[in-house]
Amino acid sequence: MQVLILNSGSSSLKFQLFSMPQETIVCSGIVDRIGFNDAIFKFKTDKDSIELESKILNHKTGLKLVAQHLLDKKIGVLKSPEDVAIVGHRVVHGGIHFSNTTEITPIVKEKIKALSSLAPLHNPANLEGITVAEDIFPNAKQVAVFDTAFLQSIPEVAYKYAIPNEFLSEHHIRLYGFHGTSHKYVSEKAIEFLGKKESKIITIHLGNGCSMTAIKNRKSIDHSMGFSPLDGLIMGTRSGDIDPSIIFHLKDKLKYNLKDINALLNKKSGMLGLTGYSDLRDIETMAERGNKECILALEMNAYRIKKYIGSYAAALNGLDAIVFTAGIGENCKVMRKLVCENLDFLGINLDAEKNNSDLRTIRAINTDASKTQILVVPTNEELEIAKQSVELIKN
């Protein structure tokens, strides 16, 4: 069975084509830096590897490029669109409507669209991917796997906000959390690596979007993002934690309207607002050249992560491991170093040589004396989505 997985991030579109149930990757790739003039398209099979630079303005353009190569007769991955039995989609915000993997219907699409105001960088891109995939692969079952699902185990003491009760009971305003598929996948891999039946770990998903989850005995108990993916860590273009009074100040004193404030906090803040760059690779390069704004932004980013490590270690009442994952977490040794510095009191001691390794497998990068293990676990949200999608359709 051929299963195509589409994972639309805020600035990227990752895809993998699996042969299931063998879990064999037929091809994979990414459309990276969507919206930039130097967007990159990578397409890889066991025989071919294609990389090209192109002006890819949006996710729709990117997905059509993916489909074009999947169906290219010279590449030979798919003979026809009918070869794809299932298209599995990552969808960020499921609200109260979706806590499980769901087959996509017109009603499901309407609910995903209605939740776009809560995930403005993601749900519209997710929905665009669904619409285009339905057109290109009309005979395939379309399945949605929601970021919020793994985080349903977070207890009320952590997900409830300190506002009048009716806002939860009547309007469902609460912490939902995101990147759940990634946190679930890497936490299970980390627990397997640790060989513990009971475990207390913190997973740190660092990409253009960033989040952290406290996980006790395979269940999430707290998460850095909240009602929307805007909350928590400093991200590529999102502010993360901010005093709500700033929003009133922007509106009342600086005369911003609410639409502009929403755009400011979601699309013009974070690392972009601090440095003029949203891609950490650019920021790291400029920091190496002595750019003070970029140096400070990296330090601020790491400082915010440290604060969450401390609070989650308290919530877990101990700590077995911290886990770095996603594009930045897996590849940026500078960020891992900054995060792990001066955390000796938690038994976190980074081994510089191991941290500098370019290995792309699950690995420990702590010293032998470190009481807390520091793991790098490559995420594979696409495989997790494929497994859940096939399981749903089988049943």
CB 385 within 8 A of CB 395: no
Please determine, for residue 66, whether its predicted confidence score (pLDDT) is greater than 90: no
Nearest CA to 103 among 394, 314, 323?
394
In a domain, 388, yes or no: no
Which has the minimum average pLDDT: 154-158, 215-219, 250-254, 390-394? 390-394
Same domain, 118 and 206: no
Same domain, 212 and 352: yes
Nearest CA to 18 among 334, 393, 384, 361?
384
In a domain, 127, yes or no: yes
At 267, list the tokens.
Answer: 């699309």
Query: Which of 121, 146, 171 is the endpoint of a domain?
Result: 146
Same domain, 114 and 226: no
* Distant-in-sequence, close-in-space partners of 252: CB < 8 Å, separation ≥ 6: none
Which value, in Å, is the radius of gyration of the alpha carbons in the chain?
A: 21
Q: Please, what sign has the CA dihedral across residues 345, 346, 351, 356? A: negative
In a domain, 317, yes or no: yes
User: How many Cβ atoms sit within 10 Å of the Cβ of residue 284?
Assistant: 19
In a domain, 190, yes or no: no
Same domain, 250 and 363: yes
Please determine, for residue 122, whether its predicted confidence score (pLDDT) is greater than 80: no
Predicted local distance difference test score (pLDDT) of residue 136: 87
Same domain, 136 and 203: no
Predicted local distance difference test score (pLDDT) of residue 242: 96
ω into 21 cis (within 30 of 0): yes
At 134, list the tokens.
Answer: 């339905």
* pLDDT average, residue stretch 29-34: 85
Q: Give the DSSP letter string of 163-218.
A: S-THHHHTT--S---S-HHHHHHHHHHHHHHHT-SS-EEEEEEESSSEEEEEEETT
CB 93 within 8 A of CB 148: yes
Dihedrals phi, psi of 42, to nearest 5 degrees:
-125, 135
In a domain, 390, yes or no: no
Predicted local distance difference test score (pLDDT) of residue 46: 73
| pLDDT tens by residue, 136-183 | 899 999 999 988 888 989 999 999 999 999 999 998 899 999 899 899
Same domain, 79 and 217: no
In a domain, 6, yes or no: yes
Nearest CA to 322 among 232, 180, 190?
190
| pLDDT tens by residue, 325-368 | 999 999 999 999 999 999 999 999 999 999 998 888 999 999 99
In a domain, 179, yes or no: no
CB 19 within 8 A of CB 26: yes
Question: Residue 360 sits in which domain range?
Answer: 196-376
Number of domains observed in the structure of the chain? 2
Instruction: Give the rounded percent of residues in the chain with a pLDDT score beyond 70.
Output: 99
Predicted local distance difference test score (pLDDT) of residue 76: 79
Same domain, 124 and 59: yes
CB 322 within 8 A of CB 329: no
CATH at 47: 3.30.420.40
Predicted local distance difference test score (pLDDT) of residue 71: 87
Q: Which residues are catalytic?
A: 147
